[in-house]
Chain A
Amino acid sequence: SQQGEEDPQALSIQEGENATMNCSYKTSINNLQWYRQNSGRGLVHLILIRSNEREKHSGRLRVTLDTSKKSSSLLITASRAADTASYFCATDLDLYSGGGADGLTFGKGTHLIIQP
């Protein structure tokens, strides 16, 4: 079963606008990661935020993490056509709190379309 759930499932915006995607998860985590996937380049790691961090930035990306609500958000500012892709959150479970396997647990993803 998948731990994370991204919201919305699909998002279409105009180029230049900001895109916000949310992720919720169920169990304690060590860190949460966001990945992008498109047909051309496969799964690409975007950013990692640790469980003791609340916000992290990388270029046009801003990630927040609220461990009390078990949720994270990914903000892409000034979107570009090349940002069109599926975005997944993935959690690295805290095994000492009853987490599962040591691989990442992915959500179903948000499909983002940037209209030119």
Chain B
Amino acid sequence: DTGVSQDPRHKITKRGQNVTFRCDPISEHNRLYWYRQTLGQGPEFLTYFQNEAQLEKSRLLSDRFSAERPKGSFSTLEIQRTEQGDSAMYLCASSFGQGDEDEQFFGPGTRLTVL
């Protein structure tokens, strides 16, 4: 399977704990995006990378959130001191990052539940 993969698919944690998610994009894609989706809502943009550079961060990305893409390939999203409001589906997407028709391919997501 050469699509976007995410790990883990599900994560249950207690409030105050730190969690880290991983995303492996499609190998030739330069851009990698993180989104968050809560029940009944559409995905909300968090941040994106062009190769290893983090170019944009949403206001939704509080100081407890940090994302990295150290070698321009896979990316990690860490949430420190989790809160119940962090419970959501975290989606990763990747794209070539060129032109006006830059289709984003989404992974299956990591569902986070904070107890």
* Chain A positions near chain B (C-beta within 8 angstroms): 2, 4, 30-31, 33, 35, 42-45, 48, 50, 88, 90, 92, 101-109
CB atoms of A88 and B101 under 8 A apart: no
CB atoms of A108 and B41 under 8 A apart: yes
CB atoms of A103 and B58 under 8 A apart: yes
Taking a contact as CB atoms closer than 8 A, the residue among B35, B42, B56, B100 that contacts A108 in the complex is B42
Name 14 interchain pairs, CB-CB below 8 A, sorted by A: A35-B106, A42-B109, A43-B91, A88-B43, A101-B48, A101-B57, A102-B56, A103-B35, A103-B46, A103-B47, A104-B35, A106-B44, A108-B40, A108-B42
Instruction: Report the minimal beta-carbon distance from A30 to chain B, rounded to whole angstroms.
Output: 6
* Chain B positions near chain A (C-beta within 8 angstroms): 33, 35, 40-48, 55-58, 91, 93, 100-109
CB atoms of B107 and A42 under 8 A apart: yes
Tell me, in angstroms, the Cα distance from A92 to B33 when the chains sit together: 13
Instruction: Report the minimal beta-carbon distance from B10 to chain A, rounded to whole angstroms.
Output: 13
Instruction: Report the minimal beta-carbon distance from A58 to chain B, rounded to whole angstroms.
Output: 12
Chain A residues near B57 (CB-CB < 8 A): 101
Query: Given A103-B33, A103-B56, A33–B45 Cβ distance below 8 Å?
Result: no
CB atoms of A101 and B44 under 8 A apart: no
Chain B residues near A107 (CB-CB < 8 A): 42
Chain A residues near B47 (CB-CB < 8 A): 103
CB atoms of B42 and A2 under 8 A apart: yes
Chain B residues near A35 (CB-CB < 8 A): 106
CB atoms of B45 and A42 under 8 A apart: no
